[in-house]
Structure 1
Amino acid sequence: MHKDIFDRLERFYDAVPRDVADAEEHGGLVLFVRAGAGWPFYARPLVGAAEPPSLADVTSVRERQRELGLPEAFEWVHETNPELLAVARSAGLSVLEAPLMVLDPAALPDPGTLSDVPVRVLAADSPGFAADVAARRAVAAVSFVAAGTERGDAGPAERDAAVTDLELAALDEERTRIADGRRISALAGTPTEGALASGMAMRVDDVAEIAGVATLPAARRRGLGAELTATLARELLAAGTDLVFLSAGSEDIARVYLRVGFRRIGTACIAEPAPFIP
């Protein structure tokens, strides 16, 4: 039913890392190895591979990831590569099965209807660009420690403590991608509280993924994540994107995105080594 969408998603997933990473093929898998500093990538099924990924392919990739000091991370869409779930689990990996959701543009709410906290899209030529990017990353760092939708104690003080200086290369990459339309970053916040929620979108041609949507635990249940996601979606549609998707970290988080107009079409799998239990 959604084969065309899944095919477009595979091309997107394969394209995103290639301008900043080397692609190493391991049988039915491809491992993306970032050429410089920045967030490490993952391994995915190789587009157009003759055979589905095997246990030997997974083992080969994990050995290479350990050799390079990279996280042993794998990502795939279950509907496109259904056999990989059992293979990953047989390799001892823990698999998160995340709701994969696509935007229905007709169901996108009007601006300002989900929260009264303003959302600001970052401009690459803004004088405060570096501080904004640092704030976006700090909000995400604090928020993902206590993932989910429940309120908590961590707020602006913890965000400020998490702010770090950005490497010039990382800042230049962010500025370039925003300027050429491949990335959109946004912050939600108030003048007194500062940045409370953050998120971004990655775009390749007419397909885009919204990712990294995060709200400080102390600011949750105010509609910030939904409003920020809707803002990113509107920006993407205005730029000519006709397929906007995301992966929700849980069923509770997926319900937030349902309010924004996203509908589930499948499952995004994210695998990593199972935690050690003594």
Structure 2
Amino acid sequence: MNAIETYYDAVPRSAARVEEIGPFTLFVGTGAWPYYARPRLGVVHEFTPVEIETVRARQRELGVPEAFEWVDETTPSLLPAARAAGLEVMEAPLMVLSGAVPAAVPDGVTVRTIDADDRALPAAVVAQDRGFGGTGEGTDGRADFLRERLRAGLTRMAIAESAEGVLAAGQHQPVGDVTEIVGVATVPEARRRGLAGAVTAQLVADATALVAAARRADSAASGTAGPVVFLSAGEDAARVYARLGFERRGTACIVG
């Protein structure tokens, strides 16, 4: 879990500025993605509702979401404090890949990794937005932001597409040998076809290949373990990810 905690502290810094507020680190997004506050890395602390409210006041002042994320097993005192502060907390299974299992790809569908110059990128962002309940409108800024991250290697993206267009999409965000799979979504009319699982499997394969390539370039790293690939998901989605080789290792607490 230490590797994941270190990752959680590192990954927002490529697109956010940082404020330290008591025992919290507040990440303030500088691009199209909003961020959250997290317990400061390495701090052992009994959190209180007052400390949470101090962060929320600063978030309101900045006009950013009153969002928090943490791992319950690492910071057990934060969940009761958040509830005492009146926050609604989603507890999502935190799952780590233990052994990749191939996913079936439906007939007529292609699953592939795309880069910054791929013509499908804008449609992929629209598909994600629709998959999460949006209309797909007004996503040009997000597509431009994501294009720059893809170009810089900060984000990797996979899509499932057919003659109908982009049906599902998702990303992973590598930092060293650790990466989190995020944003996997399927457009409403293409659900229950296994597309989210197929995209996730493609992202896992990409993460594994990415680390393997880096290690081939660094002979001193040869023979070491594979990447840490993880995600957090709702209970229904967690069952899908379990079939792909992910195991629950903890609980991701999410507010906002």
If the length of structure 2 is used for normalisation, what is the TM-score? 0.88
In the alignment, structure 2 segments of 5+ residues that lack a partner are 212-225
Which of 86, 101, 104 matches 1:108?
Answer: 101
Describe the superposition over 1:158-188 as per-residue Cα deviations: whole angstroms up to 9, x where unpaired: x8x6243523xx5554334323432111111
Counterpart-to-counterpart distance in 1, 2:59 and 2:158: 32
1:125 paired residue number: 117
Describe the superposition over 1:69-97 as per-residue Cα deviations: whole angstroms up to 9, x where unpaired: 11111000111011111000001000000
Question: Where do residues 14-93 of structure 1 align in structure 2 (5 Å cutoff)?
Answer: 14-35=9-30, 37-93=31-87
Matched, 1:189 2:144: no
Counterpart-to-counterpart distance in 1, 2:65 and 2:253: 16
How large is the Cα RMSD of the aligned pairs? 1.9
Q: Secondary structure at the match of 1:47?
A: coil
2:147 paired residue number: 175
Which of 131, 139, 157 matches 1:143?
Answer: 131
Q: Which runs of 4+ in 1 moved over 6 A?
A: none
Counterpart-to-counterpart distance in 2, 1:237 and 1:223: 21
Q: Are residues 171 and 214 of structure 1, via their aligned partners in 2, closer, same or farther at CA, if it must alter by over 3 Å?
A: closer
Question: Where do residues 236-251 of structure 1 align in structure 2 (5 Å cutoff)?
Answer: 236-240=207-211, 242-248=227-233, 250-251=234-235
The AA in structure 2 aligned to 1:43 is: A
Provide the aligned length of Structure 1 versus Structure 2: 241
Q: Are residues 171 and 134 of structure 1, via their aligned partners in 2, closer, same or farther at CA, if it must alter by over 3 Å?
A: closer
Query: Aligned residues: percent identity?
Result: 48
Q: Are residues 182 and 19 of structure 1, via their aligned partners in 2, closer, same or farther at CA, if it must alter by over 3 Å?
A: closer
Following superposition, the deviation at residue 114 of structure 1 comes to 4.5
Counterpart-to-counterpart distance in 2, 1:89 and 1:234: 38
The AA in structure 1 aligned to 2:117 is: D
- Of 91-100 and 255-264, deviating more is 255-264
CA contact (8 A) 1:186 1:199 kept: yes
1:256 paired residue number: 240
Q: Secondary structure at the match of 1:239?
A: helix
1:151 paired residue number: none
Which of 185, 190, 197 matches 1:214?
Answer: 185
Q: Secondary structure at the match of 1:228?
A: helix
Following superposition, the deviation at residue 28 of structure 1 comes to 1.1
CA contact (8 A) 1:134 1:163 kept: no
The AA in structure 1 aligned to 2:140 is: L
Question: Where do residues 160-171 of structure 1 align in structure 2 (5 Å cutoff)?
Answer: 162-164=136-138, 166-167=140-141, 171=143
The AA in structure 1 aligned to 2:6 is: R
If the length of structure 1 is used for normalisation, what is the TM-score? 0.81
Q: Are residues 267 and 50 of structure 1, via their aligned partners in 2, closer, same or farther at CA, if it must alter by over 3 Å?
A: closer
Counterpart-to-counterpart distance in 1, 2:32 and 2:154: 17
Q: Secondary structure at the match of 2:132?
A: helix
The AA in structure 1 aligned to 2:166 is: A
Following superposition, the deviation at residue 120 of structure 1 comes to 2.1
